[in-house]
Chains A and B, each alone.
Chain A
């Protein structure tokens, strides 16, 4: 192995170095680090911390986007990390009003919540309907799979409570999607996994594969990648003949059919442009994450607040003291961008799938390889490459192109 030395020095980054000018598509607000349950694969380090984001911080987080000219036509605000529903609907009534007030109707806003579903009741159903919340529930399929990892702090499975919540959502006509974490135990049960979601009437399913991240240091999928490939293939076969849309296949289909739009970065504001396919985890300020105390970061949302002294815990500023665009010019961002951009450049050079991905996930590079400048990760293989390859093979078969 040859080792490439890191460049010394750090030029200041400016928003004008990027083309088109960055816009924020997803604002991730962390209303509280606290979670009422204790999943074994959770990456969050402070999920016993009951701090909450003040409404003033919510307002300021949204206002900074407007002041910084980061708004496009539509903004999604995701309330996430830890469990958003530990705060009551009354909190969100105020918080949503603060966002609307700060943004002043200049952008379409969609509020999204991802919840473990254990706290959903009648009042929450009414709230979701009243505000058109894009609701996602976290559920890993049948009880035997779900309750292995998704447990209370006393070790009790949460599946029964999730099923109760699903029944409530159905009764009230609240639309929702599901996100499951697929671990090694799931791989031999692709049919039971798919059947469960279909039986629940869930038609949109995202598969997050058990990732090594943050407080969760290793993935159960390591060493089981052949089985994972068979799982992906079987899931595709089922989704081709069933009602459940799997997000990873939908994303792969889109990349296969249309490709990804490109964006450019001019290093030091001049010189040849790096023209890369869009990947919001690797594009400055496309995703902005704000913690309960107003600290903010960008790139992979999982990074913010993770203990990593070399990158100042990925905190680039605080919404009460400065804006997002100004943070691009700080040494902290320069250092972070040097790593993230080196990682994207390495993917462009070393990965055949780069055109359909745009450079991987910085958080996974860091946690799996210890370096933002790394290339392929288990996350790449699980969530991008195998779904893409499966969809491509299927398309070739159907079009008579298979060798």
Chain B
């Protein structure tokens, strides 16, 4: 009868080569499922907003269509110098 192992076998880990492909050092690997859930939820929220914004604004009573505050203000948010629009880097 073969010897019984003193301890149960260690659980298998993700292949190191696969992790090395990331090329990072000292980076904690978060629970991927949690990140993926957050990403899916955020993208769904964004998609819902884009869909809503693509619809014509509601007409209240007999007046003009009411533009939401953000939409009406953001119409003026396009005049920034282009060098700062391309990234969040900016001079101090």
- Hey, which chain B residues are within 8 Å of A349, CB to CB? 22, 32, 35
A372 vs B16: C-alpha distance in the bound complex, in angstroms?
A: 21
Within 8 A of B (CB), among A52-87: 74, 76, 78, 80-81
Within 8 Å of chain B (Cβ to Cβ): is A220? no
Q: Is the CB of B43 within 8 A of A2?
A: no
A361 vs B88: C-alpha distance in the bound complex, in angstroms?
A: 8
**Cross-interface CB contact of A280 among B22, B69, B86, cutoff 8 Å:** B86
**Cross-interface CB contact of B73 among A181, A208, A239, A383, cutoff 8 Å:** A239
The number of chain B residues with a CB under 8 A from chain A is: 50
Q: Shortest CB–CB separation between residue A288 and chain B, in angstroms?
A: 12
A43 vs B41: C-alpha distance in the bound complex, in angstroms?
A: 37
Q: Is the CB of B45 within 8 A of A392?
A: yes
Q: Is the CB of B91 within 8 A of A136?
A: yes
Q: Shortest CB–CB separation between residue B90 and chain A, in angstroms?
A: 5
A197 vs B92: C-alpha distance in the bound complex, in angstroms?
A: 17
Q: Is the CB of A371 within 8 A of B89?
A: no
Within 8 Å of chain A (Cβ to Cβ): is B23? yes
Residue of A nearest to B90 (CB): A206
Q: Is the CB of A384 within 8 A of B81?
A: no
- Hey, which chain A residues are within 8 Å of B85, CB to CB? 250-251, 254
Within 8 Å of chain B (Cβ to Cβ): is A177? yes
- Hey, which chain B residues are within 8 Å of A1, CB to CB? 26, 28
- Hey, which chain A residues are within 8 Å of B22, CB to CB? 4, 342, 345-346, 349, 373
Return the CB mask of B32-55 against A: 1 if under 8 Å, else 0: 100100110111011011101100
Within 8 A of B (CB), among A1-35: 1-7, 25-26
The number of chain A residues with a CB under 8 A from chain B is: 85
Q: Shortest CB–CB separation between residue A272 and chain B, in angstroms?
A: 12
Q: Shortest CB–CB separation between residue B59 and chain A, in angstroms?
A: 15
Residue of B nearest to A242 (CB): B73
Given that A280-B86, A301-B89 are contacting pairs, would A253 and B81 also be in contact in the complex, using a CB cutoff of 8 Å? no
**Cross-interface CB contact of A352 among B25, B35, B92, cutoff 8 Å:** B35
Within 8 Å of chain A (Cβ to Cβ): is B4? no
Given that A76-B83, A396-B49 are contacting pairs, would A114 and B27 also be in contact in the complex, using a CB cutoff of 8 Å? no
Given that A204-B79, A349-B32, A392-B45 are contacting pairs, would A257 and B84 also be in contact in the complex, using a CB cutoff of 8 Å? no
**Cross-interface CB contact of B25 among A4, A208, A240, A249, cutoff 8 Å:** A4
A112 vs B82: C-alpha distance in the bound complex, in angstroms?
A: 10
Within 8 Å of chain B (Cβ to Cβ): is A338? yes
A353 vs B88: C-alpha distance in the bound complex, in angstroms?
A: 14
Q: Is the CB of A398 within 8 A of B92?
A: no
Within 8 Å of chain B (Cβ to Cβ): is A287? yes
**Cross-interface CB contact of A375 among B27, B32, B38, cutoff 8 Å:** B27
Within 8 A of B (CB), among A360-403: 361, 370-371, 373-375, 379, 383-384, 391-392, 394-396, 398-401
A residues adjacent to B (C-beta < 8 A): 1-7, 25-26, 39, 41-43, 74, 76, 78, 80-81, 110, 112, 114, 134, 136, 138, 177, 179, 181, 204, 206, 208, 239-241, 245, 247-251, 253-254, 256-257, 278-281, 286-287, 300-302, 338, 341-343, 345-346, 349-357, 361, 370-371, 373-375, 379, 383-384, 391-392, 394-396, 398-401
Q: List 17 A-B contacts (CB under 8 A).
A: A2-B29, A4-B24, A39-B92, A78-B83, A112-B83, A114-B91, A245-B77, A247-B90, A253-B74, A253-B77, A280-B86, A346-B22, A355-B39, A373-B23, A373-B25, A396-B48, A401-B49
